[in-house]
């Protein structure tokens, strides 16, 4: 990420499906929302819970701390909180603290007066002033130098900034949404991060689970990115083969949603036909032979995949649903036993149960097509 101030880009794209969160078209246009803010996938129960948490936190002005591995959607969540808040018509600024040079960081954040230092040819607003009445997303706050942490703490307490080269404080009204992928408590213990600033940030905390811990999002996200990139590339509809689904569901996704997005984009670029196969996805540490092995043993699901790979998707679905429903009922809805019986992982089973509306408490059923 760079240090450029990033207001919403002018790329409105409205997701239509029911399980995508969307903003109405008028609002999207007036905010010039980017695709990242207009279509979010929250299918897995873990993500649905997160969504509820965001909706509760968003309307207040409370400072938010978002914690999550790289690529889990921290910036997207920050944008969503802003879009749900009363500040939504004002600026959302995003700044990566790790990418700022220590010399420039103070003037970038707080602004500077003309002549404050060599090269300061004109006075300039800092990020805080630009985001006045809006929200400021500070990514990688764990990387802020200690001296800057003290200055930032003062701004949060006093609600005013002093430009470099000036003595005149300027009042600012900015909601801070901070994010980190390092453990800030450990950073505090190691004296790399000020405890008082940590407590200031940590008024409302949102923890984003890695993608491997919310497997119910994997296929809906895949379809979401498939649709998005196919449209951008001007392709007709592209489908996912059952074997590719199997590989995607069984991969660990160390780079989380960003890795999945890039994998789908790349697969679309190299795929020769209109069905993505396992070999179109280049997943780190997974060789195609391993992918093939993973679907070549005696599992019932594998047999179905092989038999019906060429069959119309509807026929495959009907048979698969029947098998899964019967096994689930036979095992008295015990997921561990059902997964064992079908020789599939629990993640895959949970996804299938969700897909066919068989998870306890799930109303009706949805299909991946609903989210694509």
Q: How far is the CB of 150 from ligand ATP (least distance, A)?
A: 25
70 lines the binding site for ligand ATP (CB under 6 A): yes
73 lines the binding site for ligand ATP (CB under 6 A): yes
Interface pick for ligand ATP out of 48, 192, 258, 325 (rule CB under 6 A): 258
359 lines the binding site for ligand ATP (CB under 6 A): no
Could you please report the per-residue DSSP string of 334-363?
A: -HHHHHHHHT--HHHHHHHHHHTT-STT--
142 lines the binding site for ligand ATP (CB under 6 A): no
Interface pick for ligand ATP out of 17, 38, 64, 74 (rule CB under 6 A): 74
Q: How far is the CB of 267 from ligand ATP (least distance, A)?
A: 16
d(CA 287, CA 249): 15
266 lines the binding site for ligand ATP (CB under 6 A): no
**Identity of the residue, 152 or 221, whose beta carbon is nearer to ligand ATP in the bound complex:** 221
Choices 68-76, 147-155, 164-172, 340-348 (CB under 6 A): range interacting with ligand ATP:
68-76
d(CA 339, CA 336): 5
- How many residues touch ligand ATP under the rule CB under 6 A: the total is 20
Q: How far is the CB of 19 from ligand ATP (least distance, A)?
A: 11
Radius of gyration for the alpha carbons in the chain, expressed in angstroms and rounded? 24
**Identity of the residue, 41 or 144, whose beta carbon is nearer to ligand ATP in the bound complex:** 41
75 lines the binding site for ligand ATP (CB under 6 A): yes
Q: What are phi and psi of 6, to 5 degrees?
A: -120, 85
Q: Name the pairing type of β-strands 20-21 and 40-41.
A: antiparallel
126 lines the binding site for ligand ATP (CB under 6 A): no
**Identity of the residue, 19 or 338, whose beta carbon is nearer to ligand ATP in the bound complex:** 19
242 lines the binding site for ligand ATP (CB under 6 A): no
Give the residue among 238, 241, 237, 286 at the shortest CA–CA distance from 259: 286
40 lines the binding site for ligand ATP (CB under 6 A): yes
223 lines the binding site for ligand ATP (CB under 6 A): no
Question: Is residue 229 within 8 Å of 269, Cβ to Cβ?
Answer: no
Interface pick for ligand ATP out of 181, 241, 294, 338 (rule CB under 6 A): 181
Residues facing residue 178 across a β-bridge: 65, 138
Q: How far is the CB of 134 from ligand ATP (least distance, A)?
A: 18
The 8 Å CB, 24+ separation contacts for 106-110 are: 106/148, 106/151, 106/164, 107/163, 107/164, 108/3, 109/148, 109/151, 109/152, 109/161, 110/151, 110/155, 110/161, 110/162, 110/163, 110/164
Nearest position to ligand ATP, beta carbon: 73
Tokens coding 185: 């408590």
d(CA 323, CA 303): 12
Binding residues (CB under 6 A) for ligand ATP: these are: 1, 36, 40-42, 68, 70-76, 139, 181, 221, 224, 257-258, 261
């Amino acid at each position: 990420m760079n240090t450029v101030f990033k207001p919403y880009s002018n790329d409105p794209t409205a997701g239509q499906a029911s399980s995508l969160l969307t903003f109405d078209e008028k609002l999207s246009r007036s905010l010039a929302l980017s695709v990242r803010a207009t279509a979010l996938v929250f299918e897995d129960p873990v993500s649905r819970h997160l969504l509820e948490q965001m909706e509760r936190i968003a309307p207040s002005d409370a400072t938010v701390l978002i914690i999550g591995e790289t690529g889990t959607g921290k910036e997207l969540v920050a944008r969503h909180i802003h879009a749900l808040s009363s500040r939504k018509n004002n600026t959302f600024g995003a700044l990566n603290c790790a990418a700022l040079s220590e010399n420039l960081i103070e003037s970038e954040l707080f602004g500077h007066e003309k002549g404050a230092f060599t090269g300061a040819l004109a006075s300039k607003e800092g990020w805080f002033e630009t985001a006045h009445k809006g929200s400021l997303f500070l990514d990688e706050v764990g990387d802020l130098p200690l001296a800057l942490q003290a200055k930032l703490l003062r701004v949060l307490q006093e609600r005013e900034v002093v430009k470099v080269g000036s003595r005149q404080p300027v009042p600012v009204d900015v909601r801070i949404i901070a994010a980190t992928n390092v453990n800030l408590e450990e950073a505090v213990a190691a004296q790399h991060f000020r405890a008082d600033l940590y407590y200031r940030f940590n008024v409302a905390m949102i923890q984003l689970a890695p993608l491997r811990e919310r497997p119910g999002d994997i296929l809906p996200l895949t379809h979401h990115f498939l649709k998005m990139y196919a449209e951008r590339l001007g392709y007709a509809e592209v489908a996912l083969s059952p074997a590719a689904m199997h590989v995607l569901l069984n991969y660990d996704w160390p780079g989380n949603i960003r890795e999945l997005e890039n994998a789908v984009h790349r697969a679309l670029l190299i795929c020769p036909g209109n069905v993505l196969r396992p070999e179109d996805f280049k997943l780190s540490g997974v060789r195609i032979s391993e992918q093939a092995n993973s679907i070549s043993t005696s599992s019932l699901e594998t047999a179905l995949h092989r038999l019906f790979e060429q069959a119309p998707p509807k026929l495959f679905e009907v048979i698969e649903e029947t098998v899964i429903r019967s096994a689930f009922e036979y095992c008295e809805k015990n997921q561990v036993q059902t997964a064992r019986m079908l020789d599939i992982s629990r993640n895959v089973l949970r996804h299938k149960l969700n897909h066919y509306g068989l998870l306890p408490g799930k109303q009706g059923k949805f299909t991946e097509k609903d989210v694509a």
